[in-house]
Amino acid sequence: MSQIRLLIVDDHPVFRQGLRDVLETDERMIVVGEAADGEVAVEKCAQLEPHVILMDINLPTVNGLQVTRRIKQHHADVNVVMITGYDEVEQVFHALRAGASAYCPKDITPEALLNTIVAVNEGLFVVGEKQMTHDEVLQWIGQRIGQTDSITSDVEDFLVPLSPREMEILEHVTRGMSNKEIAFKLGISHQTVKNHMTSILRKLRVDDRTQAAVYALSRGWVRLDSKRT
Protein backbone atom coordinates (compact mmCIF):
# COMPACT_ATOMS: atom_id res chain seq x y z
CA MET A 1 0.00 0.00 0.00
CA SER A 2 1.33 3.45 -0.90
CA GLN A 3 2.18 5.82 1.93
CA ILE A 4 -0.11 8.68 2.93
CA ARG A 5 1.61 11.94 1.94
CA LEU A 6 1.32 14.56 4.71
CA LEU A 7 1.81 18.33 4.85
CA ILE A 8 2.06 19.99 8.30
CA VAL A 9 0.85 23.60 8.55
CA ASP A 10 1.59 25.37 11.85
CA ASP A 11 3.71 28.40 12.72
CA HIS A 12 5.26 26.87 15.84
CA PRO A 13 8.46 24.96 14.93
CA VAL A 14 8.44 22.86 18.10
CA PHE A 15 4.84 21.74 17.51
CA ARG A 16 5.60 20.92 13.84
CA GLN A 17 8.59 18.84 14.92
CA GLY A 18 6.49 17.07 17.52
CA LEU A 19 3.92 16.16 14.88
CA ARG A 20 6.61 14.97 12.50
CA ASP A 21 8.14 12.77 15.22
CA VAL A 22 4.75 11.15 15.85
CA LEU A 23 3.85 10.70 12.19
CA GLU A 24 7.20 9.25 11.17
CA THR A 25 6.75 6.37 13.64
CA ASP A 26 4.02 5.00 11.34
CA GLU A 27 5.22 3.28 8.18
CA ARG A 28 1.93 4.09 6.45
CA MET A 29 2.77 7.80 6.43
CA ILE A 30 5.40 10.14 5.04
CA VAL A 31 5.75 13.86 5.82
CA VAL A 32 6.46 15.54 2.48
CA GLY A 33 6.66 19.09 3.78
CA GLU A 34 5.89 21.80 6.33
CA ALA A 35 4.55 25.34 6.15
CA ALA A 36 4.58 28.08 8.78
CA ASP A 37 1.87 30.29 7.27
CA GLY A 38 -1.20 30.07 5.07
CA GLU A 39 0.22 31.49 1.85
CA VAL A 40 3.13 29.05 1.90
CA ALA A 41 0.71 26.21 2.64
CA VAL A 42 -1.26 26.93 -0.54
CA GLU A 43 1.96 26.96 -2.59
CA LYS A 44 3.33 23.77 -1.04
CA CYS A 45 0.05 21.95 -1.51
CA ALA A 46 0.30 22.56 -5.26
CA GLN A 47 3.98 21.60 -5.34
CA LEU A 48 4.01 18.55 -3.07
CA GLU A 49 0.56 17.03 -3.76
CA PRO A 50 -0.14 15.77 -0.22
CA HIS A 51 -3.00 13.40 0.49
CA VAL A 52 -3.70 14.90 3.93
CA ILE A 53 -2.88 18.29 5.44
CA LEU A 54 -2.65 18.88 9.21
CA MET A 55 -3.82 22.48 9.54
CA ASP A 56 -3.80 24.93 12.43
CA ILE A 57 -6.47 27.66 12.44
CA ASN A 58 -4.43 30.45 14.02
CA LEU A 59 -1.84 31.22 11.34
CA PRO A 60 0.04 34.33 10.18
CA THR A 61 -1.15 36.07 6.97
CA VAL A 62 -4.22 33.89 6.30
CA ASN A 63 -6.08 31.80 8.85
CA GLY A 64 -6.53 28.05 8.53
CA LEU A 65 -10.19 28.26 7.56
CA GLN A 66 -9.40 30.51 4.60
CA VAL A 67 -6.44 28.35 3.59
CA THR A 68 -8.57 25.21 3.72
CA ARG A 69 -11.25 26.79 1.53
CA ARG A 70 -8.68 27.92 -1.04
CA ILE A 71 -6.99 24.53 -1.14
CA LYS A 72 -10.25 22.61 -1.49
CA GLN A 73 -11.33 24.85 -4.38
CA HIS A 74 -8.31 23.78 -6.42
CA HIS A 75 -7.43 20.40 -4.88
CA ALA A 76 -10.71 18.77 -3.96
CA ASP A 77 -9.07 15.40 -3.36
CA VAL A 78 -6.81 16.74 -0.58
CA ASN A 79 -8.17 16.01 2.90
CA VAL A 80 -7.65 18.55 5.69
CA VAL A 81 -7.39 17.74 9.38
CA MET A 82 -7.83 20.80 11.58
CA ILE A 83 -5.66 20.35 14.65
CA THR A 84 -6.10 23.31 16.95
CA GLY A 85 -6.33 24.62 20.47
CA TYR A 86 -9.75 26.21 19.84
CA ASP A 87 -11.99 23.30 20.75
CA GLU A 88 -15.69 24.17 20.60
CA VAL A 89 -18.72 22.99 18.65
CA GLU A 90 -19.23 26.15 16.57
CA GLN A 91 -15.58 26.10 15.52
CA VAL A 92 -16.06 22.51 14.34
CA PHE A 93 -18.99 23.65 12.19
CA HIS A 94 -16.88 26.41 10.64
CA ALA A 95 -14.06 23.98 9.90
CA LEU A 96 -16.38 21.48 8.23
CA ARG A 97 -18.04 24.21 6.17
CA ALA A 98 -14.61 25.39 5.05
CA GLY A 99 -13.92 21.91 3.70
CA ALA A 100 -12.06 20.13 6.50
CA SER A 101 -12.61 16.40 6.96
CA ALA A 102 -11.63 16.28 10.64
CA TYR A 103 -11.29 18.51 13.68
CA CYS A 104 -8.89 17.56 16.48
CA PRO A 105 -7.73 19.32 19.65
CA LYS A 106 -3.98 19.80 20.02
CA ASP A 107 -3.92 17.49 23.03
CA ILE A 108 -5.10 14.55 20.90
CA THR A 109 -3.21 11.33 21.59
CA PRO A 110 -0.73 10.09 18.96
CA GLU A 111 -2.79 6.94 18.35
CA ALA A 112 -6.00 8.92 17.85
CA LEU A 113 -4.27 11.32 15.45
CA LEU A 114 -2.88 8.48 13.35
CA ASN A 115 -6.31 6.82 13.24
CA THR A 116 -7.86 10.12 12.19
CA ILE A 117 -5.41 10.56 9.31
CA VAL A 118 -6.07 7.05 8.03
CA ALA A 119 -9.84 7.59 8.26
CA VAL A 120 -9.91 10.89 6.35
CA ASN A 121 -7.59 9.44 3.73
CA GLU A 122 -10.26 6.78 3.19
CA GLY A 123 -12.93 9.45 2.70
CA LEU A 124 -14.41 9.56 6.20
CA PHE A 125 -15.01 12.52 8.51
CA VAL A 126 -13.74 12.56 12.09
CA VAL A 127 -14.89 14.78 14.97
CA GLY A 128 -13.95 14.00 18.55
CA GLU A 129 -12.48 10.65 17.39
CA LYS A 130 -15.91 9.69 16.01
CA GLN A 131 -15.60 8.48 12.41
CA MET A 132 -18.52 9.31 10.12
CA THR A 133 -19.60 9.16 6.49
CA HIS A 134 -20.76 12.34 4.72
CA ASP A 135 -24.41 11.60 5.52
CA GLU A 136 -23.57 10.77 9.13
CA VAL A 137 -21.65 14.01 9.62
CA LEU A 138 -24.62 16.00 8.28
CA GLN A 139 -26.84 14.19 10.76
CA TRP A 140 -24.33 14.91 13.55
CA ILE A 141 -24.35 18.63 12.69
CA GLY A 142 -28.14 18.63 12.62
CA GLN A 143 -28.27 17.10 16.08
CA ARG A 144 -25.81 19.65 17.47
CA ILE A 145 -27.71 22.54 15.88
CA GLY A 146 -30.80 21.31 17.70
CA GLN A 147 -28.87 21.67 20.96
CA THR A 148 -27.86 25.30 20.30
CA ASP A 149 -29.83 28.52 20.63
CA SER A 150 -29.95 28.93 16.85
CA ILE A 151 -33.40 29.62 15.43
CA THR A 152 -32.66 27.63 12.29
CA SER A 153 -32.77 23.88 11.82
CA ASP A 154 -31.48 23.94 8.25
CA VAL A 155 -27.98 22.45 8.20
CA GLU A 156 -27.14 23.99 4.83
CA ASP A 157 -27.93 27.51 6.07
CA PHE A 158 -26.19 27.20 9.42
CA LEU A 159 -22.90 29.04 9.90
CA VAL A 160 -22.42 30.12 6.30
CA PRO A 161 -18.68 30.73 5.73
CA LEU A 162 -17.39 34.28 5.43
CA SER A 163 -16.11 35.17 1.98
CA PRO A 164 -12.42 36.10 1.60
CA ARG A 165 -13.40 39.80 1.38
CA GLU A 166 -15.58 39.54 4.50
CA MET A 167 -12.76 37.86 6.40
CA GLU A 168 -10.40 40.62 5.28
CA ILE A 169 -12.81 43.32 6.47
CA LEU A 170 -13.33 41.52 9.77
CA GLU A 171 -9.57 41.47 10.29
CA HIS A 172 -9.46 45.26 9.88
CA VAL A 173 -12.39 45.60 12.30
CA THR A 174 -10.39 43.73 14.95
CA ARG A 175 -7.66 46.34 14.51
CA GLY A 176 -10.11 49.10 15.42
CA MET A 177 -10.59 50.55 11.93
CA SER A 178 -13.84 52.33 11.04
CA ASN A 179 -15.86 51.50 7.92
CA LYS A 180 -14.54 54.63 6.28
CA GLU A 181 -10.93 53.70 7.05
CA ILE A 182 -11.50 50.16 5.78
CA ALA A 183 -13.02 51.50 2.56
CA PHE A 184 -9.98 53.71 1.96
CA LYS A 185 -7.58 50.87 2.83
CA LEU A 186 -9.22 48.41 0.42
CA GLY A 187 -10.09 50.89 -2.32
CA ILE A 188 -13.82 50.20 -2.18
CA SER A 189 -16.83 52.36 -1.37
CA HIS A 190 -18.05 53.08 2.14
CA GLN A 191 -21.42 51.53 1.24
CA THR A 192 -19.73 48.34 0.06
CA VAL A 193 -18.01 48.01 3.43
CA LYS A 194 -21.33 48.57 5.21
CA ASN A 195 -22.96 45.88 3.07
CA HIS A 196 -20.18 43.45 3.90
CA MET A 197 -20.46 44.27 7.61
CA THR A 198 -24.20 43.57 7.51
CA SER A 199 -23.45 40.19 5.95
CA ILE A 200 -20.72 39.44 8.52
CA LEU A 201 -23.02 40.19 11.46
CA ARG A 202 -25.77 38.03 9.97
CA LYS A 203 -23.47 35.08 9.29
CA LEU A 204 -21.84 35.20 12.72
CA ARG A 205 -25.20 35.87 14.42
CA VAL A 206 -23.85 38.80 16.43
CA ASP A 207 -25.33 42.25 17.01
CA ASP A 208 -22.47 44.65 16.32
CA ARG A 209 -18.91 45.00 15.06
CA THR A 210 -17.42 44.71 18.56
CA GLN A 211 -19.05 41.32 19.04
CA ALA A 212 -17.85 40.30 15.58
CA ALA A 213 -14.28 41.26 16.49
CA VAL A 214 -14.42 39.33 19.75
CA TYR A 215 -15.86 36.33 17.88
CA ALA A 216 -12.94 36.32 15.42
CA LEU A 217 -10.22 36.89 18.00
CA SER A 218 -11.52 34.30 20.46
CA ARG A 219 -11.49 31.63 17.74
CA GLY A 220 -8.05 32.40 16.39
CA TRP A 221 -9.25 33.71 13.01
CA VAL A 222 -7.21 36.89 13.33
CA ARG A 223 -3.80 37.48 14.86
CA LEU A 224 -3.07 40.98 16.07
CA ASP A 225 0.66 40.31 15.74
CA SER A 226 0.43 39.72 11.97
CA LYS A 227 -0.08 42.87 9.95
CA ARG A 228 -1.00 43.09 6.30
CA THR A 229 0.90 45.52 4.17
User: Structural domains in the chain?
Assistant: 4-144 (3.40.50.2300), 164-218 (1.10.10.10)
Reduce the secondary structure of the chain to three states and give it as a string: CCCEEEEEECCCHHHHHHHHHHHCCCCCEEEEEEECCHHHHHHHHHHHCCCEEEECCCCCCCCHHHHHHHHHHHCCCCEEEEEECCCCHHHHHHHHHHCCCEEEECCCCHHHHHHHHHHHHCCCEEECCEEECHHHHHHHHHHHHHCCCCCCCCHHHCCCCCCHHHHHHHHHHHCCCCHHHHHHHHCCCHHHHHHHHHHHHHHHCCCCHHHHHHHHHHCCCCCCCCCCC
Which of 68, 102, 105 is closest to 85 using CA atoms? 105
Region 59-66: what's the mean pLDDT?
Answer: 86
* 20 vs 159, more confident: 20
Question: What's the mean pLDDT when you consider all of the chain?
Answer: 86
Q: What is the pLDDT of residue 94?
A: 84
Give the separation between CA 212 and CA 117, rounded to whole angstroms.
33
pLDDT tens profile 76-135: 999 999 998 876 777 888 888 889 999 998 889 999 999 999 999 999 999 988 899 988
pLDDT tens profile 183-226: 999 999 999 999 999 988 888 888 898 888 888 887 778 776 65
Region 169-183: what's the mean pLDDT?
Answer: 90
Q: What are the backbone dihedrals phi and psi of residue 214, each rounded to the nearest 5 degrees, phi first?
A: -60, -40
Give the separation between CA 84 and CA 59, rounded to whole angstroms.
11
pLDDT-based confidence at residue 6 (cuts at 50, 70, 90): very high
